Structure 1
Amino acid sequence: MTSRPGGRPKKAMTLMRIAGIPVRFRASWFLVSAAIVALFGPQVLRIFPELGALAYLVALGYAVLLMFSVLAHELAHALAARSFGWPATEIELNLWGGHTEFHAHRATPAKSLAVSLAGPAANLVIAGLGLYLSGALALTGVTALLVEVTVLVNFFVGVFNLLPGLPLDGGRIVESAVWAATGDQDRGMRAAGWAGRLVVLALLAGLAVLVVSGVREVSLVVVVVAVMVSFFIWQGASENVRVANARLSRRR
């Protein structure tokens, strides 16, 4: 769930437009939705056995809530970019969540940081509102479960994206700090890319400790997802380092 400037044509289905911005879905997004239904359908059925096959419809609600959470995240990026006069060209939802593409004109460290943090902020606001409503309305049953899922998903998406390393949004904190200190965005990008690699190593080390120590049972699904996400972050971080090094090399 990242944002990035610029853009290249991609093969994705445009299913809607929000504020004039095309929202495109890759086929991988629908695979993720199907996996969510398959994984969480039995879990919902155990909690509410009276639902029968409808439990899988509730699990589909999980996927829909994830879609809207990611969409809110990316839309916040797009609208923040627009406020600085940076036109957003698309929002895309895919296997790894999503990203927003926009053209950044006359970017500064502060503006870049503001646009990047808008996404996690939107998710944390939604999580806070969900938590408040859950307590204020004394919800029960399936409704309470879906609100709880909304809170957890948005909290996770918001906090995870604040980890300080590219391609996560929190990587812009590192990039902007180095950019402001050196006056060089490419040096900031390289530092944030290396920070992203360190984030991956920290995540994998934490996962290994949990698995080996046995302090808490970790399911195979969690391990597989964690490794896949780590691989994605490592690739994105390495690409940022490569691009930054290439730009710095050309300038020399």
Structure 2
Amino acid sequence: MGSSIRIGRIAGIQIGLHASWFVIFFIVAYLFAAGTLRQYHWEEPLYWLVGATISFLFFASVLAHEMSHALVARRVGLRVRDITLFIFGGATSLEDEPKRPRDEAIMAVAGPITSLVLGAVLWGIGAALEHEQEQLSAIASWLGIVNFSLGLFNLIPGFPMDGGRILRAIFWKVRGDRYAATRNAATIGRAFGYLLISTGSGWRSSVGSCRTRPRPRWRR
């Protein structure tokens, strides 16, 4: 991915930050500091410190998600080029494609499993610290929620997301043709995307109609 800054290697895999990452880092920190964390009664600087910490650790969690893909890919014999964090999360670049549907499936499912496990563990830590250390509890709890959400979101069957890749592996196994499986997974992914868009639009229209409905005027 172009315009990336190399920040080092983990397990021999090059890690980079795309220029857009800095934008989303500050957006996430701001949303927490200026919004979500205001339910707590802290000094002003603490909101921003905790918000920045959550944003940083969230992207560390995204990196863990991508590392799980990369390590499983290497395990099944694929060459990993690098991992890049950017505005939409993270991307693992491979030198070649999986040779078997089984390899595709286990590589794809590794990321969501990592995020779901991290989410459960962090949420549990947050709950355990709730009455002892409010700031650490808030950090762990919100990281748990966003990791769990990340895991579930990535299971949406929209290719090339993880759920879409799992779906492609299933079609590939059944039909024995990777290219046909890719077309099938992409078609279902598009249909699912249209369904989400139409559902969201319908919900917004419904909410809008409720909000704009005039109040009845009672006459005495």
User: Could you say whether these structures have the same fold, taking a TM-score greater than 0.5 normalized by the shorter chain as the test?
Assistant: yes
CA contact (8 A) 2:98 2:104 kept: no
In the alignment, does 2:179 pair up with 1:207?
Answer: no
User: What SS does the aligned partner of 2:162 have?
Assistant: coil
8 Å CA contact 2:78–2:98 kept in 1: the answer is no
- Look up the match of 1:163: 156
> CA 1:106 to 1:44, structure 2 compared with 1: closer, same or farther past 3 Å?
closer
Give, in whole Å, the separation in 2 of the partners of 1:55 and 1:19: 34
Using CA pairs below 8 Å that are at least 6 residues apart, which structure has the higher relative contact order? 1
User: What SS does the aligned partner of 1:53 have?
Assistant: helix
Q: Flag the structure with larger Rg.
A: 2
Paired residues of 1:22 and 1:90 also in contact (CA < 8 A): yes
1:93-104 map, 5 Å: 93-104=85-96
Match of 1:142 in 2: 135
**Residue aligned with 1:164, SS:** coil
Give me the whole-angstrom Cα distance separating, in 2, the residues matched to 1:208 and 1:28.
28
Give 1:53's match in structure 2, choosing from 39, 45, 48: 45
- Picking from 31, 42, 46, the partner of 1:39 is 31
Instruction: Tell me the equivalent position of 1:67.
Output: 59
- Partner in structure 2 of residue 20 of structure 1: 12
Residue in 2 aligned with 1:182?
175
Question: In structure 2, what is the Cα distance between the partners aligned to 1:199 and 1:52?
Answer: 43
Per-residue Cα deviation, 1:30-70 (whole angstroms, up to 9, x for no partner): 00011122322222562234321331121111211221111
What one-letter code is carried by the residue in structure 1 that aligns with 2:4? A
Aligned to 1:110: 102
- Shift of residue 141, structure 1, vs aligned partner: 1.4
CA contact (8 A) 1:69 1:153 kept: no
1:195 paired to 2:195: no
Aligned length: 208
- CA contact 1:44–1:55 (8 Å) conserved in 2: no
Deviations 1:173-198 (A, max 9, x none): 22112211221101111111112212
TM-score (norm: length of structure 1): 0.76
